[in-house]
Structure 1
Amino acid sequence: MGLFSFIKNTGAKVFGIGKTTEEEAAEVRAAAEAKELRIEEAAARNLEETIADLGLEVENLNVFIDDDMARVSGKAYNQATKEKVILVVGNTAGIATVDDQLTVEHVEPEAQFHTVVSGDTLGKIAKQYYGNAMKYPEIFEANKPMLTDPDKIYPGQVLRIPHLD
């Protein structure tokens, strides 16, 4: 449990927060009004749906957003699921801080987090953490289903770097 920092203006812009154009913002407001929700509440529900759609098992999942801070609570199946949920929420445009209130059913070692910088590749990151660039598939697998292609990472994105057995 704790606070995790992210770069507020990077990340996915598909969850109804951090929209960049007036048209996108109007679309989000209309959807929120139709459901009689504040924009933050609509964004939180969208994130909860996204987490479920990604197959991340969290019992009693609750996402609460206040300005650029998100609080996540519930019971994750394992440590990897917990960390992936934090990353899904934190790698959303408009979110700068994630307050992790998740508990874990099956405890395992925590992964490290790495913020991607310009010029990073999964191979370069693997070399930095594991001493071997060819271990990049470990990082790719640890970030599925959020990553769908090992060549598609972007500056500001935060990745899980798991411990190797």
Structure 2
Amino acid sequence: MGMFSFAKDIGDKIFNREDAKKETESNADASKAPAATEPSAQSVANLLLKRIQQQNLDISELKVKYNGSTDTAEISGKAKTQADREKAIIAIGNVQHVAKVIDNIDIEQDAPESTMYTVKSGDTLSKIAQEVYGSANEYNKIFEANKPMLSDPNKIYVGQVLRIPKP
């Protein structure tokens, strides 16, 4: 349990804050089109909850809260494994406009925590594996640890946070 920081200006776009703002600004005559509004904290929390559920993780009593003024998501529930807990954290942390994730997930099967690694320019999973495990061929460990969030080992981006399992 704890708090994790993420780069809020990058990541998957699951809600369109900028699009709504630009649309409002580009409408010269506000009476012609409905004003776009900032998504509610509850609607963002619902989208984040759905994103975790799409990961098919074993977490019961899962709840997500979101505070738009601080761009902070808070998750709670009971995870079967440490891996499920960590995957939930990175699933919502790697979303644009989420700067922090407060983790209140209890774990049934205690295990060592993975390292959280922020992708830098020039990184590949092979390069990260070489640094962490001493062998570029171990990249698949990192790829598997981040599925289904990662669909291809060659599709990572700068600022993305990945789980790096203990060797």
TM-score of Structure 1 vs Structure 2, range by shorter chain: 0.7 to 0.9
Task: Note the alpha carbon deviations across 1:42-71, whole angstroms, 9 max, x for none.
Answer: 111111122112201211111101021111
- Match of 1:64? 65
- Match of 2:18? 20
Q: SS where residue 20 of structure 1 aligns?
A: helix
- Match of 2:45? 44
Correspondence 1:113-152 to 2 at 5 A: 113-152=116-155
Correspondence 1:80-159 to 2 at 5 A: 80-159=83-162
Q: Which runs of 4+ in 1 moved over 3 A?
A: 23-26
What is the CA–CA distance in structure 2 between the aligned matches of 1:124 and 1:62, rounded to whole Å?
A: 36
Task: Note the alpha carbon deviations across 1:106-129, whole angstroms, 9 max, x for none.
Answer: 111110010001110000000111
Identity of aligned residues (%): 44
Larger displacement relative to structure 2 (47-56 or 96-105): 47-56
Q: State TM-score, norm by structure 2.
A: 0.86
- Match of 2:27? none
Give unpaired runs (5+ residues) of structure 2: 25-35
Q: Which amino acid in the other structure matches residue 20 of structure 1? A: E
Task: Note the alpha carbon deviations across 1:57-113, whole angstroms, 9 max, x for none.
Answer: 211111101021111100011000000000011101001111111100111111001
| Inter-CA distance 39–9: structure 2 relative to 1 (3 Å threshold) | same
Q: Would the aligned equivalents of 2:51 and 2:92 in 1 still touch at CA under 8 Å?
A: no
| Inter-CA distance 133–71: structure 2 relative to 1 (3 Å threshold) | same
- Match of 1:5? 5
RMSD between aligned residues: 2.1
What is the CA–CA distance in structure 2 between the aligned matches of 1:130 and 1:89, rounded to whole Å?
A: 26
Q: Would the aligned equivalents of 2:52 and 2:91 in 1 still touch at CA under 8 Å?
A: yes
| Inter-CA distance 13–55: structure 2 relative to 1 (3 Å threshold) | same
- Match of 1:163? 166
